[in-house]
Amino acid sequence: MSKTTKRLLRIITGGALLITGLILNPVDTWLQLCIFIAAYLAAGGDVLFKALRNITCGRVFDENFLMSLATAGAFIIGEYPEGIGVMLFYQVGELFQGLAVERSRRSIAGLMDIRPDFANVKRGGVIARSDPEDVRVGDIIIIKAGEKVPLDGIVTDGASALDASAITGEALPKQVFPGSEILSGCVNINGLLTVRVTKEYGESTVSKILDLVENAASKKAETENFITRFARYYTPCVVILAAIISFIPPLITGAALEDWVYRGLTFLVISCPCALVVSVPLGFFGGIGGASRKGILIKGGNYLEALSKLETVVFDKTGTLTQGAFKVREIRPAGMSEAELLELAAYAEGFSNHPISVSIKNAYGKEIDASKITQSEEIPGCGVRVSVCGKTVLAGNAKLMKQKGIECKSEDMRGTTVFVAVDGVFAGSIIIADAVKADAADAIRLLKEAGVTRTVMLTGDANSAGEAAAAELGIDAVYAELLPADKVEKLEELLKEKSAKGKLAYAGDGINDAPVLARADVGIAMGGLGSDAAIEAADVVIMTDEPSKIAWGIRIARRTLGIIKQNIVFSLAVKLAVLVLAALGAASMWAGVAADVGVTVLAVLNAARTLKV
């Protein structure tokens, strides 16, 4: 039997017995008292048990203790119906609270449903179902239409559309074909796929997402910690105040003890901090869950709160704001044809796997005949020197040309320039471009609309490439030609420049971004193409390659914090007002419990709004 069903039975049984006791006549009968006691135990037996158990464990001052003390006191002074009514109202409030929490958990469970149940593994021509945790890297798995992708891998045969909404938040299906990388947790819509596994289950996307979401609740925000500390001191204080209200005025004024004890008990009932203790964690839980459904994984309430205070956002360039796919855009020969210049540059870059080198070789489009290269030397931070068919070819940046005393034209502001020299004579240049992502400009605009006061780009590319990208996107400042260690140093400077209350976020996707991600107030990893190291070091993971989702994360965080603050202000204001009325004798126990339960229900329902994005 579920907790909700048990609580509903308590409410029905306790209510029925209360009504039975009220209709008995005359009122002062042992039978009526026995029925009232039965109604009290039926409605609040679990509360009494929890209070006694917590006292034996050293946790005295909690809501169960307050409710037990107040209702038992009501029985002592003969206010049986009110004591029972308080327990019934309390159970009604707990029922609504439980329903709201369950709704939130079901929403998160929708995300948890991405966990795969099995994998169809093909071994020796035989296909057998296997636990995803037993599948190894290199194994071949078969994914039928309608099945979840159990592990990360590369499609080797077949074509289909994948529903990746649970992973990335993208509504449109993703088309995959041989050579496509696919992520676990997606759903195969309409085709049969053969996939070679590239990661074991523990390292797969779905496993990491589940770990992030499940562990997020353990990292509490400052607001949550404040409420926890507040409740720890608040509860004993109200017990002391209730005791003062109950006994001091009668001793001083000679007023009726029973009246003042009633006021003190009402004060206790109203003082329960249920609304705050429940609604604040529920709000953070809902915000994290809502963000997860948009493909934004936030590792804890502390990072959600930090997101809401972002003042500066620092970006890596390549792969974060740009596509990370370099292409040759222009060839500028000097004393030879474009084809000759491109061939020399391709041979110079023949042994390099750098993205710029790959782009030149792709543009050349022919096989590199290694026998023509007799000597190859990499010059760190500058370029390469090779001997091709007896000619000494230099290919690299302006520093290399200056170092070798070769005059060359200035760099192009629209991309990265690779200068080429043959036997000490300038032979021309090749312009390499890395196109910005489709939504990168929107990302910067949305961040500024969200109140981010400064955007910065850090890149290892040449000044010309960095400044061109920054100008195109509207970024406030750019720092180029930075090594990974330089990025950390520059980030330290930016951290000192921000205001005391503001936060700084760094967004990157590469393995060399991990140190910077860890140092920022909020590290944001672009997970679609991001490295495992960057995702591990980050506090927030964007599951797609869309930098605009950072602004979405900020909006979700600010909306969540706004709802939580509404609950705090509303709960404290109503409680303070009714507490004063109770102390003055203007609020009955019925009114007090109605106010307490009402505030709790409204706060919990308001907190549930954080789930909607």
Residues 296-325: tens digit of each pLDDT: 888 888 889 999 999 999 998 877 888 777
Does some domain include residue 181? no
- 409 and 338 together in one domain: yes
Percent of the chain at pLDDT exceeding 90: 14
Residue 107 has pLDDT above 60, yes or no: no
Residue ending a domain, choose from 435, 466, 498: 435
369 with 401: CB under 8 angstroms?
A: no
Long-range CB contact pairs, 586-591, < 8 A, 24+ = 587/266, 587/270, 588/82, 588/266, 589/70, 589/74, 589/79, 589/82, 589/83, 589/85, 589/86, 589/262, 589/265, 589/266, 589/269, 590/82, 590/85
**Domain assignment of residue 148, yes or no:** no
**pLDDT band for position 531 (50/70/90)?**
low
Closest CA to 139 of 122, 125, 164: 122
Residue with tokens 């110079």: 348
The two structure tokens encoding residue 511: 């393995």
Q: Quick check: is 105 in a domain? A: no
Closest CA to 245 of 275, 268, 213, 220: 268
Same-domain status, 306 and 452:
yes
If asked whether residues 449 and 474 sit together in one domain, one would say yes
Q: Which of 262-276, 452-466, 598-612 has the highest mean pLDDT?
A: 452-466
* Least confident among 99-113, 204-218, 445-459, 547-561: 99-113
Structure confidence at residue 294 (pLDDT): 82
For residues 344 and 440, state if they share a domain: no
List the beta bridge partners of residue 436: 322
Query: Total structural domains in the chain?
Result: 2
State how far the alpha carbon of 169 is from the alpha carbons of 294, 406, 508, 610, in Å: 4, 52, 20, 17
pLDDT higher than threshold 80 for residue 407: yes
Considering the chain, what is the average pLDDT of its residues?
Answer: 82
Provide the residue type at 393 as one letter. Answer: V
Q: Give residue 439's pLDDT.
A: 87
Q: Tokens standing for 42?
A: 């039926």
When mean pLDDT is compared across 158-167, 249-258, 328-337, 410-419, the lowest value belongs to 410-419
Name the band, by pLDDT with cuts 50, 70 and 90, for residue 488: confident
In contact, 85 and 591? CB cutoff 8 Å: no
Structural domain contains residue 215: no
Does one domain contain both 424 and 440?
no
Spot the catalytic one: 46, 139, 163, 316. 316
Q: How many CB atoms lie within 10 A of CB 544?
A: 20
> Distance (Å, rounded) from C-alpha 461 to C-alpha 477?
15
The reply to whether 106 falls in a domain is no
**401 and 427, same structural domain?**
yes
Average pLDDT over residues 242-254: 86
Q: Cα–Cα–Cα angle for 357, 403, 389, nearest 5°? A: 50
Ramachandran angles phi, psi of 422, nearest 5°: -125, 120
Domain of residue 299, CATH code = 3.40.50.1000
The confidence score (pLDDT) of residue 44 equals 84
Binned at pLDDT 50, 70 and 90, residue 21 comes out as confident
Q: pLDDT-based confidence at 355, cuts 50/70/90?
A: confident
**Buried/exposed code over 68-100 (b: 16+ C-beta within 10 A; e: otherwise):** bbbbebbbeeebbbbbbbbbbbbbbbbbbbbbb
From residue 347, how far is each of 178, 417, 605 by CA, in Å? 30, 17, 67
**Pure H helices in 57-115:** 63-76, 80-112
Which pLDDT score is estimated for 505? 93
pLDDT above 50 for 562: yes
548 and 440 together in one domain:
yes
Q: Which of 604, 602, 560 is CA-nearest to residue 292?
A: 560
Q: Is the pLDDT of residue 103 over 70?
A: no
CATH number, domain of 362, equals 3.40.1110.10
Question: 329-333: long-range contacts (C-beta < 8 A, 24 or more apart)?
Answer: 329/414, 329/415, 329/431, 329/432, 329/433, 330/412, 330/430, 330/431, 331/428, 331/430, 331/431, 332/409, 332/428, 332/429, 332/430, 332/431, 333/427, 333/428
> Within a 10 A sphere around the Cβ of 543, how many other Cβ atoms?
27
Q: What is the pLDDT of residue 11?
A: 87
Same domain, yes or no, for 545 and 417?
A: no
Residue 529 pLDDT level (bands cut at 50, 70, 90)? very low
pLDDT digits (tens, 9 = 90+) for 221-232: 677 667 667 767
Range 374-380 average pLDDT: 82
Name the domain boundary from 405, 435, 465: 435
Question: 405 with 428, same domain?
Answer: yes
- Neighbour-count burial of 410, counting CB atoms closer than 10 A to its CB (0-12 exposed, 13-18 middle, 19+ buried): exposed
Cβ atoms of residues 29 and 60 within 8 Å? no
Q: Which domain holds residue 354?
A: 324-435
pLDDT digits (tens, 9 = 90+) for 137-191: 999 999 998 888 988 899 999 998 888 766 665 656 888 889 988 888 888 988 8
Q: Does 316 participate in catalysis according to the annotation?
A: yes
**Residues 32 and 14 sit within 8 Å (Cβ to Cβ):** no
In whole angstroms, give the CA distance from residue 438 to residue 68: 61
Does 536 reside within a domain? yes
Do 330 and 360 fall into the same domain?
A: yes
Q: What percent of the chain has pLDDT over 70?
A: 87
* Domain identity same for 317 and 425: no
Asked whether residue 242 is assigned to any structural domain, the reply reads no
Q: Which of 572, 591, 27 is nearest to 263 (CA)?
A: 591
Mean pLDDT of 482-486: 77
In a domain, 310, yes or no: yes
Which of 435, 460, 486 is at the close of a domain? 435
Does 384 lie in the same domain as 308?
Answer: no
Q: What is the pLDDT of residue 271?
A: 74
Element (H, E) at 237: helix 222-253
- Mean pLDDT check: name the lowest of 158-162, 488-492, 598-602: 598-602
Angle value at C-alpha 540, between 202 and 491, nearest 5 degrees: 120
Which has the minimum average pLDDT: 224-238, 435-449, 550-564, 575-589?
A: 224-238
